[in-house]
Chains A and B, each alone.
Chain A
Amino acid sequence: MRLWLLPVASGALFIALWYGVRVYSGLQSWILPTPLEIMEAAWRERTRLLMAAGNTALGALAGFLLAGSLGFLTSLLLGASQSLRASLYPWLLVLQMTPVIVLTPIIVLWAGPGLPGIITVTWLISYFPIVANMTQGLLSTDLNLVALFRMGNASRLQEILLLRVPSAMPYYLAGLRIAATLAPIGAIFGEYMVGNSAGGTGGLGFLVYSYNTQIKIPALFATALTSCLLGFIFVAAVALLNWAVLHKWHDSFERHDH
């Protein structure tokens, strides 16, 4: 049996089960819509969903890029010296342990409502996995190579930029991959907590409010589906970046040079 048949079969089984529950429970569509009703709602609301997904993607991308660049720089600082690491890392953990939901009113107060607040929430959620992974990567450089650099009288800066950063790339990209799944979630959560209806539709988080209060439950499921697709796009983009950076030299890719 071919491997790709398995998810198709389990998916079909799941949908059949879904229809079964709907038919035998007698639930109305605004409690449990069928997949067909959800697809219909997605089609009916397609303009709104696409515009909202665009707004959410904007917030998610800005927050993600901010987290990616600041995370990279923070890790360089943390990786550069043990005393810096000792003085900063515990406080980063404190910030990470603080639930974002508690911080949201404060974020609105400081960053302002709308897009600035949404980007801040997204950044906060996706920043730490990047820092944690990249720092670990900088510290995990092959000791033999470090010894080689030191034998060649390489400066500390050369050691970091030419050896530690490249060898930390797989870690950094693993961090980015986690952040890519978190960024759209962060942006939607941000919109739900601090968003507005900018551009006529707001983002997907705004649609959750709107559909929920209007009891448009199939459209709510369609919003979930759209969010899911947006997440896949983010993850796919990072997977592509991962391939571009690593496929020539890293063992996680099949290479033909050995």
Chain B
Amino acid sequence: MPFPAKTILPLLAATLLLAGCGRREAATAPAPANALVKIRFQTDWFPQPEHGGYYQALAKGYYAAEGLDVEILPGGPNAQVMTSVALGRADLGMTNGDDVIVAVARGVPIKMVGAEMQRDPQGILFHSAHPLHTLRDLNGRTLMAGAGSTWLQVIKKKQGIDFQLMPLVGDLARFMNNKEFVQQCFVTNEPYFARQRGADVGALLIASDTYEPYRVMFAGTAMLAKNPELVRKFVRASVRGWVDYLNGDPSPANRLIAAMRLDLPPEFLAYSIKAMNDYRLVSGDPTKGEFAGQLTAARLRKQIDLLQEVGVLDRKVAVGDVASFEFIPKN
């Protein structure tokens, strides 16, 4: 039996009315003078020094100075950073730059707005007895790595090498037991714990001339259209936080992180900061004209082409689809 129009119309009106309610308007509410605007920022993992810059900006009031009341939402396994931002549960997020490109090609409405790190801290952990000097040394070895990681396909293809893969579980037990074992890691993380257990190890950064993904901040396209000024302020304060975290006194951020991570010893936080500096992850290489926060169209173009070549992009994307360059603070 068809419903008469006079039943449907009020229902429809009620539905529309209800649909309008409950939507979080945190980022878009007009702020009275001097009131801080609420921004929710989603990270990709449990609080850790690799998020230090944001916590530094929070602790030292850089966000507040820009008129922002930033809440950092800690991630974890299955954090789904990008869908969180796309669904409006968070206003901005951070993740690996490649993931954003792949997501945009899949139709997720987000865009990079600035670099958190010039190079992603993913690396390969090895025993010094069987070192890796370049990625080519992986040839013929057995590597434990996140199955489906794009960088694996890219380097196999680009370097013309082959190696065996084991799924990454996240523990170091097998690595500790086998001197020839190599496994994916964060150069800012696992080497510390392996050395603590007496292993003589090194870590090779995966980012190289062939393949150098950024670690990025990104925002939902709705937020970019409605509130570009808030994005600009957030990126500016975050980059300021990062530079201060790595060059100044990191203890304000470290105190915030330690309060949420009772399991991380202070020596680990210090190691991680040192590694970010040693590998120049945030500041990049000044001789190449890199600086904290910078994203370049040329590098993103190269990244997109590589991802296209290995076939992980659902459709062709342009640099302008994946990133906005207007928010990047000048050097």
- The interface of chain A, by Cβ under 8 A from chain B, is 30-31, 47-48, 104-105, 108-109, 112-114, 192-198, 200-202, 206-207, 209-215, 217
Contact = CB atoms under 8 A, between A and B. Distances in A.
Interface string B41-81: 00000110000000000000000000000000011111110
A215 B196 contact: yes
Contact of B76 (A30, A196, A211, A217): A196
B193 A214 contact: yes
25 contacts: A48-B262, A108-B78, A109-B80, A109-B83, A113-B76, A193-B77, A194-B76, A194-B78, A195-B76, A196-B46, A196-B76, A197-B47, A197-B76, A200-B261, A200-B262, A201-B263, A209-B46, A211-B263, A212-B170, A213-B170, A213-B189, A215-B173, A215-B176, A215-B194, A215-B197
A39 to B, nearest CB: 19
B193 A215 contact: yes
A197 B77 contact: no
B209 interface: no
In the complex, the 3 A-B pairs of residues with the closest C-beta atoms, listed nearest first: A196-B76, A210-B263, A197-B46
Given A200-B262, A213-B171, A30 B176 contact: yes
B260 interface: yes
A206 B46 CA distance: 9
B260 to A, nearest CB: 6
A252 B282 CA distance: 68
Nearest to B171: A212
Nearest to B48: A197
B287 interface: no
Looking at B74, B80, B171, B263, the one whose CB has the most chain A CB atoms below 10 A away is B263
Contact of B263 (A104, A192, A198, A214): A214
B129 interface: no
Contacts of A214: 193, 196, 263
Given A30-B197, A201-B263, A202-B46, 20 more contacts: A30-B173, A30-B176, A105-B78, A109-B80, A194-B76, A194-B78, A196-B74, A197-B47, A197-B76, A198-B74, A200-B260, A200-B262, A206-B76, A209-B77, A213-B171, A213-B172, A213-B189, A214-B263, A215-B172, A215-B193
B177 interface: yes
Main secondary structure of the interface of A (DSSP, over half): helix
Contacts of A211: 263
Nearest to A205: B77
Contact of B78 (A193, A200, A202, A210): A193
Contacts of B259: 200
Given A206-B46, A215-B173, A113 B79 contact: yes
Interface in B60-115: 74-80, 83, 89
B190 interface: yes
B271 to A, nearest CB: 12
Contacts of A210: 263
B78 A104 contact: yes
B79 to A, nearest CB: 6
A195 B76 CA distance: 6
Interface string B147-191: 000000000000000000000001111001100000000000110
A31 B177 CA distance: 9
